[in-house]
């Protein structure tokens, strides 16, 4: 049985920072860099993005992490949050985003 959103939802762009230690860089600045690269890769302006779903860094807990990223990016998402499902966090966020589009 095919999923109802099959062919309707795509991962349009990807972005990441260089792998390794980044002394002097905050987790927010690293995530902002990766998000900007993903938006550029997708050819999407940040104003076209309605949602921001993130996994907070495990190395340093921070309250309201999604809000911090949204502010740093100058975004005002309609939906968002912080999702921590261990190793399943990425696929969980993709699933939630897919359902939000529906």
Per-residue pLDDT tens for 7-21?
Answer: 778 888 999 999 999
| Domain coordinates in residue numbering, the chain | 27-101
Q: Which CATH number fits domain 27-101: 3.40.47.10, 1.10.1740.110, 3.30.565.10, 3.30.460.10?
A: 3.40.47.10
* Res. 3 pLDDT band, cuts 50 70 90: low
- In this prediction the pTM is 0.85
Does the pLDDT value for residue 2 go beyond 80? no
Q: CA-CA distances (angstroms) from residue 21 to 18, 30, 32, 36, 44?
A: 9, 11, 16, 20, 29
């Amino acid at each position: 049985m095919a999923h109802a959103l099959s062919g309707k939802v795509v991962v349009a762009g990807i972005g990441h920072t260089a792998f390794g230690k980044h002394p002097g860089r905050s987790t927010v600045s690293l995530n902002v860099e990766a998000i900007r690269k993903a938006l550029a890769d997708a050819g999407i302006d940040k104003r076209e993005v309605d949602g921001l779903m993130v996994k907070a860094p495990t190395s340093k807990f921070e309250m309201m992490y999604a809000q911090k990223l949204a502010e740093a990016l100058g975004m005002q998402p309609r939906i968002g949050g912080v999702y921590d499902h261990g190793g399943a966090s990425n696929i969980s966020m993709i699933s939630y985003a897919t359902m939000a589009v529906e």
